[in-house]
Chains A and B, each alone.
Chain A
């Protein structure tokens, strides 16, 4: 394999992982811009999506299992908002953030007790572990195309939703100015619940498509959460579309760092990116300085 093929291989693996980080980052941003909460349990949604789908796939056809898992996790996300965040209106954002940390532990521990600590995975959507396709000289699993395709669909869907539908516009209104949105007759509380539902559903979707490649484990959530956050910060916090760029960049940089750093230290890359961005450009690549993107949360 030549040097350029190797680079392409790294690049593709980076894009694949990066697209998952992008989905986590989008989830972060959706909840953050609607509620101001940084949701630490974001990675847990990805883990739950994969786990539920794996369990359902035993007695349901794969597409049905995935769809059911996404719906289940989305509803769970909505339920969490209804039970906790809607009721705690007097609490400071700091307290709400701490509650998401608690939720993340509880979900993780519940997953440990329900599914034990074994590593699981969904079957490959098409083909199997050894089937590969040749793309510009690099070998890729068809599952990679599934991941990229799904993430692309998610991004397009979200873009259309936020830009062109009434509900999506209402959601953006809530994030840019809650008081004005309230005066315009938008039900802010419902919009917040919707942001949790969307964010959890998208996370679960990502958890399903990535499961055959990276496998699903009860502890995978916190690692994904921090990388997704790095991606969100890199893109510019509060802007779901910038998160896509951030996610892909983090993924690609991480993939290339494998050729320089020992594999055990891959995670160092994401963290270094996070700190560097905080240092140099805290509003992110596509964010606007001050005000908007560094809004108090």
Chain B
């Protein structure tokens, strides 16, 4: 039993590496771009799983948190701060390498925030906003958070559409790459495609392992107690509101992290990221993978988002996700992988008399 989580990790790593090798062998390496994007979206979904499966709350605002991450990065790394250069604080920030000079697409020098500074700002903004939304909504029993986040998402969408700072309906383009020294960079250059694929895989795996450890810790047990019976958890001395809030904030931060990374990767961000449909899609994917099954959610979300990004579902894209949501939640509320895994094990037990089971759904 102890080996099973390790099997999950190993299986996922093998699958991810195999995907790259197969695509290279098929001479379809350009598909890695969509696969990388799908992996970043999967980070949002596993973050959402954490709050849905372990704290029993649904957030319909994760698209908005993703957009807050993406837009904060995009605005700060493309906005020209050079008119503040003369001011004392502008100079100080330039000295501290918070502001960096780079060339825009026309070759002239502009002064932008450094990607890491934008990242820190995005995370801080998300933290504050998530606490502001979560605190009132999570003090109450029930699903007030769902509606509060739905409203919040709609507002963020409206503000992004209405504000010239965020480029209104066009969004923002020309976001620079996020380079770590000369070793690696998160950028959409086709030469760096394989490298970026593995960066995305690494980050996603790291998030998965961290979350898995978290749900098996004291925090995770408290959250599961809340999920199963809030009153009983309260009576046991668990500060239910605080745990739920922490889970919500962590999950919002993951969404914003994915937003920052994907914005650097695609070099831009557009308002559709903040749309209500995006948030609903994340919920659908989390439910489809099984909300208490982080691995399953990661796999399902990577596969489905990849197919969607490749345009497999055509104009029925949203309908596919809606139908999927209804079908899976009504037929297999625990997630489809669990019954599937049990079935596989039964078959493998029947075929191999030894009863060796190695399905990766654990």
Contact = CB atoms under 8 A, between A and B. Distances in A.
A106 B319 contact: yes
Contacts of A265: 158-159, 162
B56 A94 contact: yes
A53 interface: no
Q: Which of A102, A103, A223, A271 has the most CB of B within 10 A?
A: A102
B63 to A, nearest CB: 13
Interface residues of B, number: 43
A238 to B, nearest CB: 11
A57 interface: no
B297 interface: no
Given A97-B143, A105-B277, A278-B137, A226 B319 contact: no
A258 B290 CA distance: 43
A295 B144 CA distance: 11
B140 A294 contact: yes
Nearest to B135: A279
B136 interface: yes
Given A222-B276, A230-B151, A294-B142, A99 B330 contact: yes
The prevalent SS among residues of A at the interface is helix
Given A105-B280, A109-B322, A222-B276, A84 B330 contact: yes
Contact of B151 (A95, A101, A108, A271): A271
Interface in B299-352: 315-316, 318-319, 321-323, 325-326, 329-330, 333
Interface size of A as a range: 35 or more
B315 to A, nearest CB: 8
A98 B283 contact: yes
Given A95-B333, A267-B154, A297-B142, A102 B137 contact: no
A26 interface: no
A64 interface: no
B133 to A, nearest CB: 7
Contact of B329 (A98, A278, A279): A98
A262 interface: yes
Given A271-B154, A278-B137, A279-B136, A296 B147 contact: no
Nearest to B230: A296
A268 B147 contact: no
Contacts of B298: none
Contact of A295 (B58, B142, B151, B152): B142
A99 B330 CA distance: 7
Contacts of A98: 58, 283, 287, 325, 329
Nearest to A93: B143
Contacts of A91: 329-330, 333
B294 interface: no
Nearest to B162: A264
B150 interface: yes
Interface string A267-291: 1101100110011001000000000
A105 B151 CA distance: 16
B296 to A, nearest CB: 16
Contacts of B155: 267-268, 271
Nearest to B147: A229
B151 A274 contact: yes
A109 B318 contact: yes
B37 interface: no
B148 interface: yes
Contacts of B316: 109
Contacts of A97: 58, 143, 146
B325 A99 contact: yes
B35 interface: no
Contacts of A271: 151-152, 154-155
Contact of A264 (B137, B139, B161, B321): B161
B45 interface: no
B161 A222 contact: no
A38 interface: yes
A297 B143 CA distance: 7
A233 interface: yes
Contacts of B326: 84, 99, 102-103, 106
Given A98-B329, A99-B325, A271-B155, A105 B318 contact: yes
B141 interface: yes
B247 interface: no
A223 B157 CA distance: 12
B142 A296 contact: yes
Contacts of B139: 282
A226 B146 CA distance: 10
Contacts of B230: 296
Contact of B280 (A92, A101, A233): A101
Contacts of A229: 147, 151
B284 interface: yes
A88 interface: yes
Interface string B20-49: 000000000000000000000000000000
Given A98-B329, A102-B326, A297-B143, A226 B58 contact: no
Interface of B: 56, 58, 60, 133, 136-137, 139-144, 146-148, 150-152, 154-155, 158-159, 161-162, 230, 276-277, 280, 283-284, 287, 315-316, 318-319, 321-323, 325-326, 329-330, 333
Query: Which 10 residue pairs spanning A and B have beta carbons closest together?
Result: A105-B322, A264-B162, A102-B325, A102-B326, A109-B319, A271-B151, A278-B136, A279-B136, A106-B322, A226-B151
Interface of A: 38, 40, 84, 87-88, 91-95, 97-99, 101-106, 108-110, 113, 222-223, 225-226, 229-230, 233, 262, 264-265, 267-268, 270-271, 274-275, 278-279, 282, 294-297
25 contacts: A93-B143, A95-B329, A95-B333, A98-B58, A98-B325, A101-B283, A102-B322, A102-B326, A105-B325, A229-B147, A230-B151, A262-B162, A264-B161, A267-B158, A271-B151, A271-B152, A271-B154, A271-B155, A274-B151, A275-B133, A275-B136, A278-B144, A282-B139, A294-B140, A294-B141
